[in-house]
Amino acid sequence: MSGNTFGKSFTVTTAGESHGLALVAVVDGCPPGIELSEADLQLDLDRRKPGTSRYTTQRREDDVVKILSGVFEGKTTGTPIGLLIENTDQRSKDYADIAKTFRPAHADYAYTQKYGFRDYRGGGRSSARETAMRVAAGSIAKKVLAAKGIQVRGYLSQLGPIKIEQFDWDQVEQNPFFSPDASKVAEMETYMNALRKEGNSVGAKISVVASGLFPGLGEPIFDRLDAELAHALMSINAVKGVEIGDGFACVEQKGSEHRDEMTPEGFLSNHAGGVLGGISTGQDIIAHIALKPTSSLIIPGRSIDSDGNPIEVITKGRHDPCVGIRATPIAEAMMAMVLCDHLLRHRGQNADVQCTTPVIAAEAE
């Protein structure tokens, strides 16, 4: 029944639920000699943190991460890195009344069917709270990638019906939506306010891009780079679709239109999203994900209780009206993990991940 470890060479194992004592993670396989501090991890954690704007859940968590092991004198040692985030705001009382009900579109029913019962406080393990550890672990992956000149960044490409039209990386961190289009922010604010008033929620589309990658990363046929990206991204709560490059637009494309022609100066387009045959081409890796609307609504919905009786469900408590808003750093973290894992599996050219050089003068016989 295990399923809480991701990766092969760079592995991330997490534990912890919404209202337990703490979230914990073990990041294993990080190369030695990389500078790492808690402040490095806090940057992305703060980007994901709830309660920072009125458009996300009002649960307030400091999300302060502690590095318990694997770092010595400011550098990774090559041994596993233990991470801890304590849960400080565990208001369990809000959830007592849902202990025996199943919220429509929530994991309640599936979890109870699988395990026989469930930790009903705040969604337990199925809560998006779990993603805080993904973000912390992803920051370590980003540091490893940065040492090779690889950068992973994400942005909101659509919020419900509102699509971005202009693109400026510099805008992404300037608004609470991670929108690269500053001209849409006001519209998004208005939309979200109306949505909150309505007690409803909406979906979103997030895009993630890795740049600076060399060609040759990925292990066909089942461990293709794109397949593992799809795995990683689809494992994020609420994600229902993953595209690489042009994605579903390919269905109506002709071959002459889709193919990325090459010249001695490089590719002329990037419909493929940086992956061919499951292997990186050296172009930007581009992925898009669709997130469904949150299931926790104030609008009543039909459901059943654990005895099978029909009930009407209204979800109180603190929830995100659009989980997509906080999903950008999570999606970045998952892409970073996949790339870092593949980087450490990779042999041959560009395989050297910087490692402190051994200082031993005398070789063994």
User: Which residues inside 302-361 make contact with a second copy, applying CB under 8 A?
Assistant: 302-304, 306-310, 344-349, 351-353, 355-361
Can you tell me which of 98, 204, 285, 339 binds a second copy, judged by CB under 8 A?
A: 204
Specify the DSSP element, H or E, that contains 344: helix 327-345
Contact letters for a second copy, residues 256-295 (x by CB under 8 A) = xxxxxxxxxxxxx--xxx-xxxxxxxxx------xxxxxx
Span 53-82, contacts to a second copy by CB under 8 A: 66-70, 72, 75, 77-82
- Please report whether residue 93 would count as binding a second copy according to CB under 8 A: no
- Please report whether residue 202 would count as binding a second copy according to CB under 8 A: yes
User: Has 238 been labeled as part of a binding site?
Assistant: yes
- Please report whether residue 252 would count as binding a second copy according to CB under 8 A: yes
Give CA 306 to chain center in angstroms: 32
Instruction: Give yes or no for a contact between 236 and 327, defined as CB atoms under 8 angstroms apart.
Output: yes
DSSP annotation of 69 reads: S
Question: Is the Cα dihedral 257, 261, 266, 271 positive or negative?
Answer: positive
Provide the β-strand partners of residue 75.
35, 72
C-beta of 238: minimal distance to a second copy in Å?
Answer: 8
C-beta of 121: minimal distance to a second copy in Å?
Answer: 8
b/e sequence 247-279, b meaning 16+ C-beta within 10 Å: beeeeeeeeeeeebeeeeeeeeeebbbbbbebb
Name the residue nearer to a second copy (CB basis): 171 or 281.
281
Cβ-proximal residues to 326 (8 Å cutoff; 6+ apart), any chain: 48, 50, 56, 128, 320
C-beta of 347: minimal distance to a second copy in Å?
Answer: 6
Question: Is the Cα dihedral 37, 43, 45, 50 positive or negative?
Answer: positive
Name the residue nearer to a second copy (CB basis): 142 or 342.
342
User: Checking phi first, is residue 216 left (phi over 0); if not, alpha (psi -120 to 50) or beta?
Assistant: left
**Distance, CA of 254 to CA of 132 (rounded, Å):** 41
Contact letters for a second copy, residues 122-161 (x by CB under 8 A) = --xxx---x---------------------------x-xx
User: Has 351 been labeled as part of a binding site?
Assistant: no
User: Has 18 been labeled as part of a binding site?
Assistant: no
Give the number of residues written for the chain: 365
C-beta of 165: minimal distance to a second copy in Å?
Answer: 16
CA distances from 214 to 2, 8, 53, 211, 336 (A): 34, 20, 38, 9, 15
Span 162-191, contacts to a second copy by CB under 8 A: none
- Please report whether residue 246 would count as binding a second copy according to CB under 8 A: yes
User: Has 237 been labeled as part of a binding site?
Assistant: yes
C-beta of 61: minimal distance to a second copy in Å?
Answer: 15
- Please report whether residue 201 would count as binding a second copy according to CB under 8 A: yes
Span 215-234, contacts to a second copy by CB under 8 A: 215-224, 226-234
C-beta of 37: minimal distance to a second copy in Å?
Answer: 14
- Residues tagged in the binding site annotation for NADP(+): 48, 54
